[in-house]
Structure 1
Amino acid sequence: MLKKWETLPDFMKNDAVRGYYDSLQKKKVSMFLKRAMDLVGGVILLIILAIPMAIIAVMIKLDSEGPVFYRQERVTTYGKHFKIHKFRTMVSNADKIGSAVTVGNDSRITKVGAKLRGCRLDELPQVFDLISGNMSFVGTRPEAVKYVEKYKPEYMATLLLPAGITSEASIRYKDEAELLYATDDVDKVYIEEVLPRKMKYNLDSINKFSIFGEIVTMFRTIFALIGKEYK
């Protein structure tokens, strides 16, 4: 459920966010159902995926040195910091030798990591974040802290809801790594060009938030993964 406006973090209480907040205030039942769907669905998925994830974990350890999980700090509801669960697809010190976003043909990606990324299997462990409430099936993808610090006032509205495993922006920019491959300054291009485009979809999704809409987004994600293009 939404916090009272007065209790929101100061950095979120601006005129640009207020409109989105008022819109969500009218959809309390849908927000309750959203959390219930995340929790029940997350538990069911964990039961189904436990063995496949164990096999993937063994493959990662055999392929390269380092931990099984990649736990970069991200931002979710009301600016809360959490460490996301993803299977590690890069060398263990990747954060220290490159950008926080990945580009196509990134030399830091391991052999097993490339296969996992191709099928989005590296995101399976986010089921733990789903159950904990740090993430939802659908919502703005959780950004690294340094990118959230560059948010425009209106972008703060995306922090009214939990970060998501998928979103309309994720579908439209599923090949984001390839888009950034040709640039010399990845962070600059991401903040000034890619992020604003993604935020248009993210903010529109908050304005039009509904359980039915989120279910549609989940199906669109499945179709995108098997090759359907959305423009």
Structure 2
Amino acid sequence: MASTSNMHFEISERKLLLRVFDVLAMLFGLYVVSNIFDFDYFKFTEQRWLWSLVLIVYFVLFSTILELYNLQKSSRYDTTFQGIVLTVSITVLCYLLTPFFTPELPENRLQILYFFLAISVAIFLWRCAYIFFISSPRFFKNILIIGNTEEIKVMSDAIKRNTNYFEIVGYINSSSLEKTKDPELDDLEEITSSNLKEVAEKKAVSEIIIASNQQEELSKPIFDSLIGLLETGLPIKEYIQVYEELTYRVPVQYIGKDFYKYFPFSRSNQNKLYLFFHRFFDVIFSVIGLLVSLLFLPLVLIGNLIGNRGPLFYTQERVGKNGVPFKIYKLRSMIVDAEKNGAVWATQNDSRITKFGSFLRKSRLDEVPQFINVLKGEMSMIGPRPERPAFVKQLSESLTFYEIRHVIKPGVTGWAQVKTDYGASEEDSLRKLQYDLYYIKHRSFFLDLNIIVKTLSTVLFYRGR
């Protein structure tokens, strides 16, 4: 089997490959320039190892914030070039502004240009090689999907929207009730043979995805063939697992009575050490956030007087951990009495948002008072966003598993906030719920750090909503 399967890289392997070789390319470019050309600003010596370490830290940090490892963007020359130029520009700027840990500014300013070009050109050349070789179809993962048409459509749509590195070589309709081909699957080849070993060898299948919640839909010949392929080492995965890996969401709408299989919550939810440090950083970040916000308070007060006309602060009832209501603090971004007729979904380009309120939202300054909620223990820095009781009642009746959001503290920011837009409808709320449950399921220091970095990116580049 191994001899017929095509060579491919997993998503995590591709991201690790990009990160490691980006750093190696950067250091190699600087090494070449410093040894061949008249370039004295950056030299590799045992005594100056800190220079290299600081440069690597800056580059890794900003490349993550600026999504240089987004695999869809990394497969195109234009977006790759734009990302490299922006990332290297900010990296070099910060590097130059920290002379305590980096070389002193050169007298010849051309040295800075050489520094920028050495890093940019080296990384871009490596990325071109990556796009030409590793992003090419020869390294795609060939997928065979088995299941009923509805789940096959869900899985194929998730693959097409979220990765360029999967090739669906065909599907097998396992339902005996569906005899005609679904027109929405016309672009995929339907395979009628039940000899999966022959199909897997002919199509060089890398992985089989079972897109069905009903085991009885799999005929005995298909079931026996799957067992045989599993014994050869061919990966066979359940489609909800693959959907999570691709979208970083839990597809709750497709989970049935066997829900317990898909909700093994992260051990971090009960890990006392994790919870201690989580609370510790909550307090530290909140205190720092409130102190820093004092610097902007005079400007916010003036802006509120001119562009908001009314009280600066407001409180609103939200639902917290275990369904306990609490008062959330915010800077007012809407007109006074915006919800005098009842709770209304916030929408994009909402007419109730004032001009100054729009600035507060885009910069996320309207969320600053919630640091008080964090200090009081009602919220955390990271978690599902708290909703109003009226919406919680409505959504918990229409969305299965919605109340699971309340097993942890709500957050100032969260996985759903950095991954999707406003929840202006039940459909949007379902998408946010999928992200929230993914966070609860996979909660960890690494995921928390990822959310913090993406939130900083939103604030720094004024991408709030």
TM-score (norm 1): 0.76
- 8 Å CA contact 2:362, 2:462 repeated in 1: no
Asked which structure has the greater RCO (Cα within 8 Å, sep 6+), the reply is 1
Aligned position for 1:222: 456
How far the C-alpha of 1:63 sits from its partner, in A, is 3.2
1:28–1:146: structure 2 CA closer, same or farther, 3 Å change rule? same
Aligned residue for 1:143, secondary structure, equals coil
How far the C-alpha of 1:164 sits from its partner, in A, is 0.7
Q: Where does the alignment leave 5 or more consecutive residues of structure 2 unmatched?
A: 1-257
Equivalent AA in structure 2 for residue 173 of structure 1: T
How far the C-alpha of 1:99 sits from its partner, in A, is 4.7
Instruction: State which structure, 1 or 2, has the greater radius of gyration over its C-alpha atoms.
Output: 2
Aligned position for 1:160: 407
Aligned position for 2:416: 169
- 8 Å CA contact 2:316, 2:327 repeated in 1: yes
Aligned residue for 1:30, secondary structure, equals helix
- Pairing 1:14-163 to 2, within 5 Å after superposition: 19=263, 23-24=267-268, 26-97=270-341, 99-149=343-393, 150-151=395-396, 152=399, 154-163=401-410
1:170–1:76: structure 2 CA closer, same or farther, 3 Å change rule? same
For 2:274 and 2:288, locate their aligned partners in 1 and report how far apart those are by CA, in whole Å: 21
Alpha-carbon displacement from aligned partner over 1:104-140 (angstroms, at most 9, x marks no partner): 2222122211221222221111111111111111100
- 8 Å CA contact 2:382, 2:410 repeated in 1: yes
Seq. identity, %: 31
For 2:264 and 2:324, locate their aligned partners in 1 and report how far apart those are by CA, in whole Å: 19
How far the C-alpha of 1:217 sits from its partner, in A, is 0.9
For 1:89 and 1:228, locate their aligned partners in 2 and report how far apart those are by CA, in whole Å: 16
After TM superposition, which residue ranges in structure 1, 4 or more long, deviate above 6 angstroms?
Answer: none
Alpha-carbon displacement from aligned partner over 1:156-214 (angstroms, at most 9, x marks no partner): 2221211011112111224x27xx4xxxxxxxxx22x1111111111111111112321
After superposition, the CA RMSD in angstroms is: 2.7
1:196–1:77: structure 2 CA closer, same or farther, 3 Å change rule? same
1:16–1:223: structure 2 CA closer, same or farther, 3 Å change rule? same
Alpha-carbon displacement from aligned partner over 1:15-69 (angstroms, at most 9, x marks no partner): 969x566845542221121111101221122122123134313421343443211
1:23–1:148: structure 2 CA closer, same or farther, 3 Å change rule? farther
- 8 Å CA contact 1:20, 1:206 repeated in 2: no
1:68–1:155: structure 2 CA closer, same or farther, 3 Å change rule? same
For 1:97 and 1:22, locate their aligned partners in 2 and report how far apart those are by CA, in whole Å: 40
Equivalent AA in structure 2 for residue 157 of structure 1: I
- 8 Å CA contact 1:63, 1:111 repeated in 2: yes
For 1:130 and 1:88, locate their aligned partners in 2 and report how far apart those are by CA, in whole Å: 19
TM-score (norm 2): 0.40
Aligned position for 1:199: 433
How far the C-alpha of 1:89 sits from its partner, in A, is 0.8
Aligned position for 1:11: none
For 1:99 and 1:147, locate their aligned partners in 2 and report how far apart those are by CA, in whole Å: 8
Q: Where does the alignment leave 5 or more consecutive residues of structure 1 unmatched?
A: 1-14, 181-189
1:16–1:158: structure 2 CA closer, same or farther, 3 Å change rule? farther
- 8 Å CA contact 1:16, 1:154 repeated in 2: no
For 1:49 and 1:64, locate their aligned partners in 2 and report how far apart those are by CA, in whole Å: 19
Equivalent AA in structure 2 for residue 144 of structure 1: R
Aligned residue for 2:326, secondary structure, equals strand
Aligned residue for 1:95, secondary structure, equals coil
- 8 Å CA contact 1:33, 1:211 repeated in 2: no
- 8 Å CA contact 1:20, 1:157 repeated in 2: no
